[in-house]
Structure formats: C-alpha cells, structure tokens
C-alpha cells in the first residue's frame, strides 16, 4: 500500500511528453504511438503496457476471460462509479456474461507513467452496448495500476470515473 501511496504522490509532478488526442479502437495488438510517457522509460516497456491496455479493452468486447485472467493479478481490485469495488472474479464474471454485449469500445488520450516495477496507464474510454437492463453508453476516465511481478506486468488496481 505504501508503494501505491508513493506512486500517486509522484503522479502530479512527472514531466510528460505531449500526447496527441487520437482515438484507439479495440483491436488486438493495437498500440498507441501517441501515448505520453516519462522520458526515461524504455519504449519496450511502454509498448508492453499499451498492448496490455489494448488487450484488456478488447477482451470486454470479445468476452475473452482468458486474456483478462492473464492481465489481472489475483489480488486485483477496481473502484467503479458509485464506489462499487470489483475484484478479479467479479470482473471476469461481468466481462464474460453472455447477457452483456459490447458493441463498441474505444480509447483516447492514453498516458503511460512508469516508476520502476510500478506503472499507471491512464486514458478515456467510450463504450456502448446492451445488457439485461437495455442499451448502455458511457465515457469513462480510468487509471490502471500495473506491477511487474516475476518478469510480467499485471494489473493490480483500476479506478474508473464516469464523465458522460
């Protein structure tokens, strides 16, 4: 927890390369060359984190539970609008629910911040689809926290804020 507190304390003063506001759509392997990154970070690290972001969002559309299981750490927790806390099992269940269909998911303004073995991926997503309650559409800002464990990046936390 001290690592996360330190990480968030460091986020404000980090100098970033300006980013273009181009949108990305959910397509496997798509990486954003316009992502903002801390200048001292290897482009391979940034590319790996961009790829995980793409795979995560694509997994919502394709209901790919195996991809989400690989990306999310077993101790993953997310805070969603309204204060809902979802753990890995909750997210896997929701994302693979056949009663929920994601018609479109895109992301833009991707920023990757890396602090050694901890990274934050921030962006805005636009998602639309259908669930048992009917049609849905939302615009969300999110911050996903990744930790490098045993040589692999795993998402340990996410915070999603609905903006539209």
Quote the CA–CA distance of 75 and 6 in Å, as a whole number. 19
Quote the CA–CA distance of 31 and 23 in Å, as a whole number. 11
Quote the CA–CA distance of 75 and 91 in Å, as a whole number. 12
Q: What is the pLDDT along the chain (164 residues), one digit of tens a residue?
A: 444 443 333 343 333 333 333 345 554 444 444 455 445 578 999 999 999 999 999 999 999 999 999 999 999 999 999 999 999 999 999 999 999 999 999 999 999 999 999 999 999 999 999 999 999 999 999 999 999 999 999 999 999 999 99
Q: What is the CATH number of domain 24-162?
A: 3.10.450.50
Residue 27: what pLDDT? 43
Q: Is 84 exposed, middle or buried (0-12, 13-18, 19+ CB in 10 A)?
A: exposed
Residue 42: what pLDDT? 86
Whole-model pTM? 0.77
Per DSSP, what are the bridge partners of residue 122?
A: 111, 143
Give domain limits for the chain.
24-162
CB distance 138 to 162 below 8 Å: yes
Residue 75, classed as helix, strand or coil, is strand
């Amino acid at each position: 927890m001290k690592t996360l507190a330190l990480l968030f304390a460091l986020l404000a003063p980090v100098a970033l390369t300006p980013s273009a506001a181009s949108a990305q759509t959910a397509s496997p392997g798509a990486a954003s060359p316009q992502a903002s990154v801390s200048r001292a970070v290897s482009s391979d690290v940034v590319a790996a984190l961009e790829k995980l972001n793409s795979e995560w969002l694509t997994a919502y559309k394709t209901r790919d539970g195996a991809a989400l299981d690989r990306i999310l750490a077993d101790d993953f927790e997310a805070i969603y609008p309204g204060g809902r806390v979802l753990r890995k099992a909750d997210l896997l269940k929701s994302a693979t629910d056949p009663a929920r269909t994601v018609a479109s998911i895109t992301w833009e303004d991707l920023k990757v911040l890396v602090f050694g073995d901890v990274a934050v991926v921030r962006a805005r997503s636009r998602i639309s689809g259908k669930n048992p309650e009917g049609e849905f559409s939302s615009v969300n800002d999110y911050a996903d926290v990744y930790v490098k464990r045993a040589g692999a990046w795993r998402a340990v936390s996410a915070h999603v804020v609905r903006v539209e």
